[in-house]
Each structure stands twice: as C-alpha cells, then as structure tokens.
Amino acid sequence: MVQRDVLGSVRDVSRRRLLVGSAVVGAGVLVGGCTSNEGSPAGGEQVKQADAGVNPNSSPGRRVVIGFSAPAADHGWLAAITANAEAQAKVYSDVEYRKVEAGADAAAQRSALMTLISQKPDVIVVLPHDGKELNAVGLEAMKAGIPVVNLDRAFPDALAYRLQIKGDNYGMGVAAGRFIGEQMRARGISNPVIGEIAGIDSLELTQERSAGFAAELATFGFRVANRRSAQFTADSGQAEAAQLLRALPRMDALWNHDDDQGIGVLAAIAQANRSEFIMVGGAGSKAAIDAIAADNTVLKATVTYSPSMASSAISLARLIAQGRGMSDLVELQVPKQITLASETITKENAAAYAKLGF
C-alpha cells in the first residue's frame, strides 16, 4: 500500500537522524573542541557561511568560547538543533565550541551547566529541558557575567538571558488553523470535526501552539472536537492518534504539532485504514515535506518551526561575546529577542522548502 511505503521511508529517515544525533552528542559529560572555518557542513545542516565581503561580521574577531547544551538528540528536530549548532560553530575560526550533555532531565542539565559556568566561557547557548526549571541557571550565568542565549524553550525571567531566540509557537497554531479553516470552507464543510494531537502539555510552547490553533479556528466558527497530548515521540504519537481515531469515527481535519511525532500518527492512521480527513504537521521535517510533495497520504501541509534557529543562535552568541552588533541594523548590539516566523508548506511550495527540511 502506498501509504505504508511512505511510512517506511519516514521511519528509515528518522532512524538515520537518530544515529547521526547520537554521534553528534557523543560520550562524556563535557566535550570541548576548537573549530575552524576550513570545513563545510557534510550532513545537510542549515548554516550561514562566513563571507567578509558580503557581511563584515564574518571577518575574524576576538577568539571566544561558546558553551552549548541541548537535550539528547533522541528526536529528529533535536538532532538537527545539535548538528546545526556544531556545524555553524565550525564556520568561524575565532570560535571554540564546548558542548555539555544535558542528561535525561532538568536536574542533570542543571548540574552540567553549573560545571560549564565554573569554566567561565564567553557565552552560553542553551536549549533547556524545561525553561521554567532551568531559569535559575540562566540567572546564575548572567550574574557571573556570562551572556546566555536562550534557545527555543523560554526562560520566564528576562534577566535569565541576554538573547532569547525561538520559533513562533502561537503562530504555528494560527498557521495550522488558517490552513484547515480555508480548506474546510473550500470543500463546503460548515461544521467540521477537527482533531488535535499536541506535544508535551507541560511545556509553554505546546500551550501556545494550542492557543493559536483554537483562536484561529474560532475566526471560522470552528473548534477542536478532540485533543490528545503526546510526548514529541513517534511511539506516543501513534498511541495517542489511535485513541483519537477511536474517539472520532469520522473526522475532517487533524493537526499534529510535531512531524517526528507524526511518524507514529501516520502509522496509526494507516493501521486504522482512515483517509477521509486532511492532516497538517508541524516543524517541517524533510520526510514530511517529501510526503506532502508526493501527495499520497492524508498529510497535506506542515507549519514550520525550523531548527536553523540553533545556527543563528551560535552566530549571534559569537557577536554578543565579541561586542559586535548585527551589521544590517542601526543599533550597536544584538537584539534582546528574536522570534522566527512560522510558514506553511504545501504541495505547491514543497519543492522550494525541501532544502530546508531537517
């Protein structure tokens, strides 16, 4: 069956990413290394190459040490975050990149980051297990004079970071809701049955995604009929999707917050032999973009949440540590907050976005 062939391909891609992610994370609690700009990314990472002729900030400056920590790459998006950060650091001859393992939970990451703080790097880039639980570590680093670049999962205290860079979680929900709303109207469905499979409910980013989705659906007069919370994993996605499908014997549309989680969601859909609805994904994985382009599953769109933010975080951390600003801005310093826009990938533009998939 075509749908199952696509799923098999998705699983193969996911396995390869997990293997790459494991290699990137490596062994040991603290790994340090010098980087240079002599090499170029070999694994399709999303980086900005140094070109002093185009961007004066690319020219070498004071040598800086950038510490980095993110949860283990047991997920395609997280694997891409770690790979992008490391690849971007290699672009710069004036950057020494030190990665600390985040461990299995917030407590383990807190311990690793405290060790890093004691080593006094010039700047720290951190994607926390949970922003609220690691907020105190951000405050500790900032008090020690070490600027913190808070990536993705937000610290609630603005004093806990020098720069916060993340995706537009609320905007993801809005984009997914708008696509579904427009599709329902185009199909003449006035009272659609809409399902939602969220990520980890305790995370603020998941709550923001659901809030944006509900708000945008409301502008069409629609609402979510059944919502399940998964764990950003394929296994949890499959389990929660199976329950949602049983709860909704008929459905018109489904939003799944995360494309890696969506591997399991699509598996559950195939097992249930359901195809009467459309599905929207989240994040913009290469496997999802390919499936959208092929147009042979229920997956018709995905809304972006790009792991390229890790590459940008490293570049901006370097500028902060060197006391530089962004060359295209009038201001002399890097901004305090950057939120990336969420875009909608469909069959019509999938080819253009394929190179950005992770």
User: Which pLDDT value is given to residue 52?
Assistant: 59
pLDDT of 33 above 60: no
**Residue 32 reports pLDDT greater than 60:** no
21 and 153 in a single domain? The answer is yes
Give 40-83 pLDDT, tens digit per residue: 344 567 776 766 566 778 889 999 999 999 998 777 899 999 99
The span from the CA of 205 to the CA of 156, in Å, is: 12
Distance CA 127, CA 310 (A): 9
9 assigned to some structural domain: no
Q: Has residue 53 been placed in a domain?
A: yes
Q: Is residue 62 part of a domain?
A: yes
The verdict on 74 and 193 lying in the same domain is: no
175 domain residue, yes or no: yes
Asked whether residue 61 is domain-assigned, the answer is yes
Interval 117-163: pLDDT, tens: 999 999 999 999 999 999 999 999 999 999 999 999 999 999 999 99
175/163 same-domain check: no
- For residues 86 and 112, membership in a common domain is answered with yes
Candidate from 23-27, 193-197, 262-266, 307-311 with smallest mean pLDDT: 23-27
Q: Provide the pLDDT confidence category of residue 223 given band limits of 50, 70 and 90.
A: very high
Q: How far apart are CA 13 and CA 255, in angstroms?
A: 22
CATH of the domain at 243: 3.40.50.2300
The answer on 137 and 27 residing in a single domain is: yes
Answer with the residue of higher pLDDT: 76 or 292: 292
Residues 25 and 29: their CA atoms lie apart, in Å, by 10
On whether both 289 and 323 belong to a single domain, the answer is: no
Q: Which of 240, 250, 234, 353 is nearest to 305 (CA)?
A: 353
190 domain residue, yes or no: yes
Q: Which domain holds residue 262?
A: 169-304+346-356
Query: Is 123 in the same domain as 216?
Result: no
Domain shared by 351 and 208, yes or no: yes
Amino acid at 280: V
Query: For residue 185, what pLDDT is reported?
Result: 98
pLDDT the model gives residue 7: 41
**Residue 125 forms part of a structural domain:** yes
Q: What mean pLDDT do residues 186-196 have?
A: 98
Give the chain's mean pLDDT: 88
Report the C-alpha gap between 200 and 209 in whole angstroms: 11
Quick check: 180 and 278 in contact, CB under 8 A?
yes
**Is the pLDDT assigned to residue 26 strictly greater than 60?**
no
In this prediction, residue 355 carries a pLDDT of 86
**pLDDT tens digits, 228-261:** 999 999 999 999 999 999 999 999 999 999 999 9
Q: Is residue 91 part of a domain?
A: yes
Helix axes 131-143, 106-118, angle to 10 degrees: 10
As a whole-number percent, the residues of the chain with pLDDT over 90 amount to 81
Domains contained in the chain, number: 2
